[in-house]
Structure 1
Amino acid sequence: MGKYFGTDGVRGVANKELTAELAYRIGRAGGYVLTGQASKPKVVIGMDTRISGLMLESALVAGLLSIGANVVRLGVVSTPAVAYLTRILGADAGVMISASHNPVEDNGIKFFGSDGFKLSDETELQIEELLDKEVDELPRPVGGDLGSVEVDEHSKLKYLEHLKSTITSSFAGLKIVLDCANGAAFELAPKLFRELGADVITLAAEPNGLNINDHCGSTHPEKLKEEVVRHGADLGLAFDGDADRLIAIDELGQEVDGDHILCICGEAMNRAGKLKESTIVTTVMSNIGFYKATEQLGLNTAKTAVGDRYVMAEMRKGGYNLGGEQSGHVIFLDYNTTGDGILTAIQLVDTLRKADKKLSELKQLMVQYPQVLVNVRVQDKSKYNGNTAIAEAIASVEKTLGDNGRVLVRPSGTESLIRVMAEGPDKAELERYVADIAGVVERELV
């Protein structure tokens, strides 16, 4: 990670850390690096529903126009829609303004190359070098060489048509509750599921600029669980703020996370001969139960560091077409170039339809081991590496757990947090172990 770019673009508190001034500079530097020598390059921009989105979009657009790029404003769309439309519209780059599942005061700027993939570390470094230059020597065209702006409210419908083309089942007769997190999915997801024939009940689909991810969405599925049971629905589907994640809820009100979804879809794809190398790519955060289940199902796994960019890198390197994270970030590489919550949702429902089973039944492919995760907010997460006291606390718990569990402690890629996680057969014990380690982290780093 660089000075500006974290694991998922540039993030910060809007108007404090991620200011309009910085967004303008990112527009100039990012636009210059990504559009190269193209004459009149085209850049598409989408955003989620945060109140700060328009401020940052205006500044980004100004920066891009000032280097001669033409801008296509897609409005409120999901991150994966931007990735897809960057390719389909023949753009030189795509930009998404969102802080995903983070609270409303945060925002972020995420770039896609002309191929629809997130940027490499090398490309981000090129942009950072330009941002850090004392004097801005980038082009400043005048007159007719300045960029122009086009508002495009129709291309997002092309994205929905693409999603429809990836499945074959009708959803008629299914009652589905959608939690749109008051974010980017609020319009697209209900429209798609209704067009596919489902009886749709919506939650958190009335964004007001301030309520994104507020006790709703994939990180807060409590209300969705209640509503699925109350309505007697077949299942519930929760997206995050930019709709690149999905958490499902079965008809009994139980959570079905990314590990389960990968197991369910991976097993079905493998039986159909569509899972390349019979392999699913996941991160070190995947549950022990996931690995035991895939072994029993005859599936191979490849393990990466946390972050969908690392999952994607492994997928591209190994030629795999399914990967993701426990958090619900799932990549179907045959259909899109990034994690896509809405795509994952229809793939999951399509799998249920073809199996003619309830989600609670298919969920039983995998038995989830208890997992305890605590986030410790710290002053400077960079001081975690090399801290002897924390390392000793981790080693002590690992020795106690032996082969019956594991410990994972890591800095967040997007926030000033240290994540402390442990898995094993006894949840009460795990809570004690995690509390012990978290206590040491607090003492050392807070």
Structure 2
Amino acid sequence: MADVHFGTNGIRGTFEDLNPELALKLGKAIGRYLGKNVGVGRDGRKTGLCLKNALVSGLLSVGSNVIDFDVVPSPTAELMIKEMGLDGVAVVTASHNPPEWNAIKVTDRKMIAISRERGAKIEKIMEKVKSASWEKVGEYRMERNAVRRHMERIMGFVDAKAIRERKPFFILDCGNGTASLMVELFKESGVNVITMNDYVDWRFPGRPSEPTEESLADLKKAVVELKADGGIAWDGDGDRVVFIDEKGNFLSGDKVVALSLLKKAKEGGKGRFVTTVATSMVASEIAKKYGWDVVYTKVGAPYMSEKVAKTKNVILAGEEVGGVIWPEISLAKDGFMTAAKIVELFVKDGRRLSEIVEKELPEYHFVKTKIPCKNQEKKKIMERIKKEMKKEYRRVITIDGVRAEYEGGWVIVRASGTEPIIRIFSENREEKKAKEVMEYWAGKVKKIK
């Protein structure tokens, strides 16, 4: 096997490593692991069709029946597990990564994404799995209705009447990703819509697939100039979302999670909030304000979905990048359900988006950076950082990476499970302090390297 393994969420790599030969072997192992009926989807990346076809061949060759959704958002494919009674899905998508990257993400029949630990079992199967006899090769069919079914399911949880009465004006930046396929959800819900980058293109010509404050400069400008109520932007596969308020301010993923919690509070929900060790205190403070328990887990969609599945009375789960799980619809991070519910929050609240954020969300300053790091160096660096943090802070959490908490803020140093980088997140009530702490630990990491 090439030097590509399951990380935080699936197997990820460039075409030199994640190639059709590997996808074929992986498809065979996934078929053995998941079962008889497996859904397959992809985003619009140039290598996606090639890898998907190899994956499908592998699945069929071990006797799995394949339901092919082709180009769909990741949360659409994952929802189809419940909608169609599937044994799982495999989606070819690199989400927010540059176009030369791709990945294969796997979700089981319980709608729990496959983590690094469970992925290791699939890798072992790859070493010994054999094809079925010719008469037991699986059946193949296309499913053209998945996106429509996803939209209808979301609309069942959204008060479209209230939205139509207010007729909010939002600019949607689909980022040339699969979010382009979901625009009708907002139009049919009563949102006055203008779109940007609203067609699938593997080159991502409009902006990079990761919706950052820098990459959304055009959206911010459009919202202000056209006097929109706000802007909404998704990543390449639609599992994460961010907002722009009417003043052109970037609302990070943490604030999206907090607004989602606020929406749940307005609906009178009670229960537990699951989040990762890298998520802002903005969200956890909102949860605590309304009497919900906060349950922490490792960074990554698989760990969130595992925790939601195993924990009673979870009302919401979310992570710092703007990925939110709404258990009533599925265990997938769903950027479209999230966006629709925040639009509903906006119209029912009556205030401008900036006013809701200013009045309802506690103010913290969240900063982050990433440092290139070879995978083989990660263990050594993290062991050193763990020792040094324990010397400097009283409270250190090592669920995933090393998180240190102190008066007014926290910092985490964590090796990425999907990319050759070390991530550092820092948060404080004072922006200057947040940056100072982040830069201090970034310097430590660079010295160890």
**TM-score (norm: length of structure 2):** 0.88
Residue 406 of structure 1 aligns with which residue?
410
| Match in the other structure for 1:422 | 426
Change (3 A) 1:332 1:390: closer
What is the distance in 1 between the residues matched to 2:25 and 2:206?
28
What is the letter of the counterpart of residue 244 of structure 1? Answer: D
Greater than 6 Å deviation, 4+ residue runs: 397-401
- Deviation digits for residues 81-135 of structure 1 (CA, Å, limit 9, x no counterpart): 111112212222211110111111111101122233313666423211122x2xx
C-alpha distance in 2 between matches for 1:379 and 1:398: 30
1:295-328 deviation digits (Å, cap 9, x = unpaired): 3444432222222222222222222020101210
**Cα distance in structure 2, aligned partners of 1:177 and 1:370:** 26
Q: Determine the structure 2 residue equivalent to 1:442.
A: 446
CA distance in 2, matches of 1:88, 1:222: 38
Which residue does 1:225 correspond to in 2? 220
- Partner deviation per Cα, 1:65-84 (whole Å, 9 max, x = no partner): 21122222212111111111
**For residues 430 and 214 of structure 1, what CA distance do their matches in structure 2 show?**
28
Quote how far apart the aligned CAs of 1:246 are.
Answer: 1.0
The equivalent of 1:141 in structure 2 is 133
Determine the C-alpha separation between the residues in 1 that align with 2:341 and 2:67: 29
**The one of 113, 118, 143 aligned to 1:152:** 143
Q: Partner of 2:7 in structure 1?
A: 6
Does structure 2 retain, via aligned residues, the 8 Å contact 1:101–1:240? yes
Question: 1:361: which partner in 2?
Answer: 355
CA contact (8 A) 1:375 1:420 kept: yes
Which residue is 1:328 aligned to? 322
Equivalent residues in 2 for 1:92-131 (5 A)?
A: 92-119=87-114, 123-131=118-126
Q: 3-state SS of the aligned residue for 1:321?
A: strand
Q: Give distance in 2, aligned partners of 1:122 and 1:420.
A: 23
- Counterpart for residue 53 of structure 1: 48
Partner SS, residue 109 of structure 1: strand
Residues paired across the two proteins, number: 431
Residue identity matched to 1:388:
R
Q: How far apart are the structure 2 equivalents of 1:324 and 1:107? A: 24
**One-letter code aligned to 1:392:** E
Letter in 2 for 1:96: V
SS of residue matched to 1:291 = helix
Partner of 1:25: 25
Percent of residue pairs identical: 30
User: Structure 2 CA distance, aligned partners of 1:300 and 1:421?
Assistant: 23
Q: Using the alignment, how far apart are the partners of 1:267 and 1:390 within structure 2?
A: 35
The 3 A distance-change label for structure 1 pair 295 and 389 is: closer
Asked if 1 retains the 8 angstrom alpha-carbon contact of 2:270 and 2:291, the reply is no
Classify 1:70/1:213 alpha carbon distance in 2 versus 1 (closer, same or farther; 3 Å). farther
What secondary structure, in the 3-state scheme, does the structure 1 residue paired with 2:255 have? helix
Q: Which letter does structure 2 place at the counterpart of 1:410?
A: R
Can you list the C-alpha shifts for 1:228-263, whole angstroms capped at 9, x where unaligned?
Answer: 112111111111111001111111111223332333
Partner of 2:157: 166
Write the distance in 2 (CA, Å) between the matches of 1:125 and 1:152: 30
- Structural mapping, 1:368-407, within 5 Å: 368-380=363-375, 381-384=377-380, 387-388=383-384, 391-392=387-388, 395-396=391-392, 402-407=406-411
State the partner residue of 1:38: none
- Distance in 1 separating the partners of 2:204 and 2:52: 19
Equivalent residues of 2:255, 2:282 under 8 A apart:
no
Structure 1 residues 182, 388: CA separation in 2 closer, same or farther (over 3 Å shift)?
A: same
- Rounded Cα–Cα distance in structure 2 between residues aligned with 1:329 and 1:106: 20
Amino acid at match of 1:301: V
State how far apart, in whole Å, the 2-side matches of 1:139 and 1:216 are.
37
TM-score by length of structure 1 reads 0.89
Residue matched to 1:254: 249
SS at match of 1:428: helix
Distance 1:7 1:161 in 2: 30
For 1:444 and 1:403, the matched residues in 2 are separated by: 27
Amino acid at match of 2:13: G
> Which whole-Å CA distance do the structure 2 matches of 1:213 and 1:384 have between them?
39
Q: Distance in 2 between matches of 1:73 and 1:53?
A: 13
Structure 1 gaps of 5+ residues are 36-40
Distance 1:295 1:442, change over 3 A: same
RMSD of aligned Cα (Å) = 2.5
Q: Deviations over 1:396-432 (max 9, x none)?
A: 5889994132221111121111112222244334434
> Partner residue of 1:285?
278
2:11 maps to 1:16: no
The alpha-carbon deviation at position 165 of structure 1 amounts to: 0.9
Cα 1:139/1:212, change in 2 over 3 Å: farther
SS in 2 for 1:115: coil
Aligned to 1:310: 303
Asked if the contact 1:228/1:236 (under 8 Å) is kept, the reply is: yes
